[in-house]
Structure 1
Amino acid sequence: MALINSTYGKGRVRIMRVKRDTARHEVRELSVKTLLTGGFDRVFTDADNSAALCTDTVKNITWIVARENVGLDSELYGKALAQKFLDAYPQVETVTVISEETKWTRMVVDGEEQDHGFILDANGKPTVTVEATRAGMAVTSGLSGFTFMKSTESGWDKFFKDEYTTLAETRDRIAATAMEARWRWSRDPADYAAANALILKTMLKVFVSTYSESVQDSLYRMGMAALDAVPELIDIHMACPNKHYVPINLKPFGMDYDNMVLLPTDEPHGQIECTVGRD
């Protein structure tokens, strides 16, 4: 028997970075996991810790690089953190940095954005994964649990039917999902934050402004539009579980179903996933 693979590091290292070089502050709150692979097999197989970094050291370096880079977007911070380990420790061969952001948006008072007041944005968490070796780095950005819906302009009909099919066709239903999405970069855009915002804006425009023949139909067209809008993207993967809204039977009370009172449920849910990339 043999050790097939191994990795280790530090997870849930929490950081709030505050860029305060002007009166208008910027805040970025992250939870970071950093994993290392390389010359560490003997730590597992031979009780030999001589090459092993303490996971506490991994935490300290995560904080130090944050202090050195308070203003960087999460993608560039992740690259700087990975590079620190590659530069400092020859026994490290691969660094994986995974970050999840808690989003804060500017408080608006009397129509004016505040310089140092913020409100928690609870809809989804931006994510970044950096895979780094001495040969290069790969960056993936994304969103976890980003929830959106439209109350009409969505249908599901003309589908395959057999003796097991009970679902009725419809041309008017609510479409809602909590999306997990990630997109890979071929190179750094001029501004990661602006590019990520444009990707989301573009996808939501397609979703809300065009009729959806299915979640599959919408996802494909959303991905195509994102690739058109941001040339630095390699591909985009979307996983969208349906959030169902089931008609409530009010006929016993003399009321017809009018698509206005429904029962929210997400168990069980349809799971629709696709990856859209360049040819």
Structure 2
Amino acid sequence: MTLLSSTYGKGRVRVMRLAGDGEHRDVRELEVRAMLTGDIDRAFTEADNSTTVSTDTIKNVVNIVAREELDAGAEVFCRAVAARLLDRYPGMRSATVSARETRWNRMGIDGAPHPHAFTRDGNGVGTAEAVTDRSGGRMSSGLSGFTFLKATASGWAGYVKDPYTTIPETHDRIAATAMEASWGWERDPADFAQANARVLDAMLRVFATTYSHSVQDSLYRMGEAALAAVPEIDTISLACPNKHYLPVNLAPFGMDNPNRVFVATDEPHGQIECTIGR
């Protein structure tokens, strides 16, 4: 039997890069696939790995280039990773690096772009539900999968610590979620669409402009703001998985990482839920 072709590499390398200083951040999130061809056939046919680069090493190269190229767009980034792989490993004949970009749109607060808060492009779907019986009915509206983040002004500290605790405290992290939200109408507003927009605007304003001590802290205050902004609603329920962006350890490569390069993961995730009423 003849091996007709061979390639290997690392897929779904999810990397978030933050550029900027102070309160201002630019966010760039990619899912990268890096594949190599070259002197690798014997790993397939002879159980000989001596010419094969570990796929974990390929992932590390993606993260190293991410630290060096914080501002690069997807095209420039893919080309830089491919060039680094070929420069580093002369036994490789070609490198194919592709990326899918998650696009984040900067939030606007009071008509001005916010320095570090974003909503995901092509975001979420609106929901509505009417429950009616012979005695009357109940209407609710909401959002499903509405995804947003802020790149700083968020922390997690002061929690229970015991021998099972491994997560370190932080006062500067990415806070991100894909929100499921619904709010119940005590009475109909003059215009449902406009009232729903005010609910979302009130919540995002709180999220973007105040420090978050936890997702729990933000959710409660976001719900309070929605109830205050739209008197026609009487309850609001929020469910927010904590979409984690974990700092990559670049110390083995002689590089620092002052909250600039992150691995994106949402499995497993923290699941934070609450209902707030008047």
- TM (normalized to structure 2)? 0.56
C-alpha deviation, 1:252, in angstroms: 1.4
| Distance across 2 between alignment mates of 1:210 and 1:182 | 22
C-alpha deviation, 1:234, in angstroms: 1.0
Counterpart of 1:145 in 2: which secondary structure?
Answer: strand
C-alpha deviation, 1:134, in angstroms: 2.4
Which residue does 2:217 correspond to in 1? Answer: 217
Which residue does 1:242 correspond to in 2? Answer: 242
| 1:153-194: CA deviation from partner (whole Å, max 9, x where unpaired) | 000001110110000000000000000000000010011000
1:151 pairs with 2:151:
yes
1:142 pairs with 2:172:
no
| Distance across 2 between alignment mates of 1:242 and 1:138 | 30
Counterpart of 2:176 in 1: which secondary structure?
Answer: strand
| Distance across 2 between alignment mates of 1:154 and 1:249 | 20
Counterpart of 1:243 in 2: which secondary structure?
Answer: strand
Which residue does 1:271 correspond to in 2? Answer: 271
Percent pairwise identity: 65
| 1:179-211: CA deviation from partner (whole Å, max 9, x where unpaired) | 000000001001100000000000000000000
| 1:238-259: CA deviation from partner (whole Å, max 9, x where unpaired) | 0000110011111111111210
Which residue does 1:187 correspond to in 2? Answer: 187
1:100-119 matches, within 5 Å, as none
C-alpha deviation, 1:212, in angstroms: 0.2
Whichever residue aligns with residue 145 of structure 1, its letter is G
> How large is the Cα RMSD of the aligned pairs?
0.8
1:75-114 matches, within 5 Å, as none
Which residue does 2:71 correspond to in 1? Answer: none
| 1:58-110: CA deviation from partner (whole Å, max 9, x where unpaired) | xxxxxxxxxxxxxxxxxxxxxxxxxxxxxxxxxxxxxxxxxxxxxxxxxxxxx
C-alpha deviation, 1:137, in angstroms: 1.3
1:24-103 matches, within 5 Å, as none
Q: Structure 1 residue runs of 4+, over 2 Å off?
A: none
1:133 pairs with 2:129:
no
Which residue does 2:261 correspond to in 1? Answer: 261
| Distance across 1 between alignment mates of 2:168 and 2:122 | 35
| Distance across 1 between alignment mates of 2:210 and 2:277 | 21
Which residue does 1:232 correspond to in 2? Answer: 232
| Distance across 2 between alignment mates of 1:134 and 1:125 | 30
Larger RCO (CA under 8 A, 6+ residues apart): 2
Q: Which moved more, 1:143-152 or 1:244-253?
A: 244-253
1:202 pairs with 2:202:
yes
| Distance across 1 between alignment mates of 2:167 and 2:123 | 31
| Distance across 1 between alignment mates of 2:139 and 2:122 | 24
What 5-or-longer segments of structure 1 have no aligned partner? 1-120
Counterpart of 2:145 in 1: which secondary structure?
Answer: strand
Whichever residue aligns with residue 176 of structure 1, its letter is A
Whichever residue aligns with residue 129 of structure 1, its letter is E
Q: Which moved more, 1:249-258 or 1:176-185?
A: 249-258
Whichever residue aligns with residue 238 of structure 2, its letter is M
| Distance across 2 between alignment mates of 1:225 and 1:186 | 17
Whichever residue aligns with residue 180 of structure 1, its letter is E
| Distance across 2 between alignment mates of 1:217 and 1:197 | 22
Counterpart of 1:257 in 2: which secondary structure?
Answer: coil
Counterpart of 2:153 in 1: which secondary structure?
Answer: coil
| Distance across 2 between alignment mates of 1:137 and 1:255 | 61
Whichever residue aligns with residue 276 of structure 2, its letter is V
Which residue does 1:113 correspond to in 2? Answer: none
Counterpart of 1:268 in 2: which secondary structure?
Answer: strand
How many residues of Structure 1 are paired with residues of Structure 2 in the alignment? 158
Which residue does 1:171 correspond to in 2? Answer: 171
- TM (normalized to structure 1)? 0.56
